[in-house]
Structure 1
């Protein structure tokens, strides 16, 4: 079974709670969760990042950057 490591912001944190609350939801992999609310690329949590690297996942999913977009930006400005 593949070891999946997820690293990112509150979306990862909420996804973990979503999966944990649904006991009948079968996740077909060994999943390690590393989510922190408010995570931005300019404020990466090095402790959390180090923990993610130590887990040596077969599959690593990194979800960061959503908190870097200012509130009033639209797609044209990005």
Structure 2
């Protein structure tokens, strides 16, 4: 027996979960995309957080973030993305 069979979920709980997941996915897409071009604000903020102020590091983090977001958005791989 799987978890989805054992615990019934109401429609309101289902749609609330989907809405919250959509907000998270949209934010993570924004976060990943903003790190791809060499923006000064991104590298300055990374330096303040203790990361190297390098555009290539920002791009790498953006790509990793976008891959994780894609994994999270696909139901079968959401555990890997989370």
Query: Which protein has the larger Cα radius of gyration, Structure 1 or Structure 2?
Result: 2
TM-score, length-normalised on structure 1? 0.31
Larger relative strand fraction: 1
TM-score, length-normalised on structure 2? 0.30
